[in-house]
Structure 1
Amino acid sequence: MSGLKTNGVLRIGLIQMNSLPRDPRQNRKKAEFLIRKAALAGADLVQLPETWNTGFFPKEELLSLAEPEDGESRKLLSRLAKELHLAIAGGSVLTRRGNQVCNSFVFYTSEGRLAGEYDKIHAFSPSQENVYLQAGSSLCCLEAGGIRAGALLCYDLRFCEQARLLALQGAELLLVCAQWPRERMEHWRILARARAIENQVFVSAVNGCGCFDGVQSGGGSLAVSPSGEILGQAGKDEEILFTQLKTAERAALKRQMDPLSDRRPLLYAGLCQPAPHQ
């Protein structure tokens, strides 16, 4: 997020948005209103939920609602980032890549430049995301206001390996964008805190709060410190949750204890080998 001077404090606006199913035009209007509101409140970075422009996710209309890589939703985020001089973690946008559709996280700098893109690795099979969407195969780490950040989309949060690999690549913050259902909100809170504690990173986790084909996203967006403290948590309805991440707190914690430096990866590789046949 070049051009911004955060002085060791990153101010994030988590936009817990109620997306209208299958209505990208109205969702773009709402997202613009909320992004502008967060900018006026002093956010350095705003964060949108997964599939904010379509809802999660329109199987029958997938090809018609998915956008090209220069589609209207991306254009909007780039324009607003440059105009408002703030970075935008653009949740995810269903993106056409040839004959495939991907669930794609995008990140724009305060100059409106696309600085990070990530196709969701772990497709949510209970909703047939693995059938309709092409899964990605690469991680995403980027610079966000003087702090290195990694991207996770919804179901990715359940996979500790991905968060650990991002931490080993230097991520100090995990940007989680989701449409997490209301009936599993306790999992959402526990997993966000676990990923923060085990990797000693900040977690900024934004969730949607709309309803799509009878499934209600649960809201409850939250920010977590590297020690697992919940720095702020939203309710179940549409709102912007503001939080401040103080990078010095993470440095102080790592001086006291640094589990990542005590890892024994060569041993783990051996333990993962299949047992020999007797």
Structure 2
Amino acid sequence: MMISKPLYTLQLKTKQNFEDNLTHLKNLILDCESDSIILAPEVCLTNFCYQRMDEAAEFAKVATESLLRLCSDRVIVITMIEKYRNGFYNNLKVFYKGELLHKQSKHKLFPLGNEHLHFQSGDIAEIAPFEIDGIICGAINCFELRFIELWQLLKGCDLIFVPAQWGKERKDNFETLSKALAITTQSFVMASSGANDTCAKGSAIISPFGYATKDDEQEVISLRANFNEITQARKFIDIGLSKTPCNP
């Protein structure tokens, strides 16, 4: 049976005021169709605010409660700064039907941005497939896109999320790697990068054949995806991919 879903990838500027960022994000989410899947850029509510990490971690609690109320009829994928006993983590969280459906901490930290000095590295085992309404999903967080061994962990997924705050000097890298991820895994890829002056933009929804829907002038990029395209791609160009079973 055909699965069709409206997909939305966001391309936002992040301001200094965390509350303003959350309000803007919520308004954009409310404008998206019900039964949709929405991806926001990496740490779009706070940015990498290394001088305000404790404040950002406290705000993550507020944001989490707010997004749990918004996700009754749509999927929201976002990353936020959170604190545990041994330090701070860059956590990707998937909200759906009023619950936290999936969480993973960023495993590969970006040394050029000094992330390794401010964050703890997540467990690589958290980079694993999960299911949304029969769609097998996976996620790679920004810098992790450069590591092909992490792509291998998500082979067989139907939809892969790539939230990012990618530097504009490496815009072509981001767009090329995102498209290569879609072609290599024969899956849909949703890439969402920030729109601040230092960011690459380049947000896109990419089909299993590598066709990209993107627009650097827009905050919201959308596509109604027909997931039958995955079956067609894998049958037409057979490289041995099949669905990856999710952990219960």
Secondary structure of 1:166's counterpart equals coil
Secondary structure of 1:136's counterpart equals coil
Match of 1:240 among 220, 228, 231: 220
Partner AA of 1:121 in structure 2: H
TM-score using structure 2 length: 0.91
User: Could you tell me how far 1:260 is from its partner in structure 2?
Assistant: 3.5
Distance 1:68 1:24, change over 3 A: closer
Unaligned stretches of 5+ in structure 1?
Answer: 1-5, 263-278
Secondary structure of 1:46's counterpart equals strand
Q: Does 1:117 align with 2:103?
A: yes
Give the superposed CA RMSD. 1.9
Match of 1:8 among 3, 7, 27: 3
1:267 maps to what in 2? none
Aligned partners of 2:227, 2:82: CA distance in 1, in Å? Answer: 33
Contact 2:2–2:228 (CA<8 Å) still a contact in 1?
A: no
Match of 1:157 among 145, 153, 168: 145
Partner AA of 2:132 in structure 1: A
1:256 maps to what in 2? 236
Aligned partners of 1:73, 1:177: CA distance in 2, in Å? Answer: 17
Residues 1-278 of structure 1: pairs in structure 2 closer than 5 A? 7-21=2-16, 23-39=17-33, 44-55=36-47, 57-67=48-58, 71-82=61-72, 85-89=73-77, 91-109=78-96, 111-137=97-123, 138-167=126-155, 170-211=156-197, 216-230=198-212, 232-235=213-216, 237=217, 239-260=219-240
Partner AA of 2:62 in structure 1: E
Runs of 4+ in 1 over 4 A off after TM superposition: none
Unaligned stretches of 5+ in structure 2?
Answer: 243-248
Aligned partners of 2:21, 2:30: CA distance in 1, in Å? Answer: 14
Q: What percent identity do the matched residue pairs reach?
A: 25
Distance 1:261 1:94, change over 3 A: closer
Aligned residues: 240
Aligned partners of 1:141, 1:201: CA distance in 2, in Å? Answer: 13
Contact 2:9–2:38 (CA<8 Å) still a contact in 1?
A: yes
Secondary structure of 1:61's counterpart equals helix
Secondary structure of 2:169's counterpart equals helix
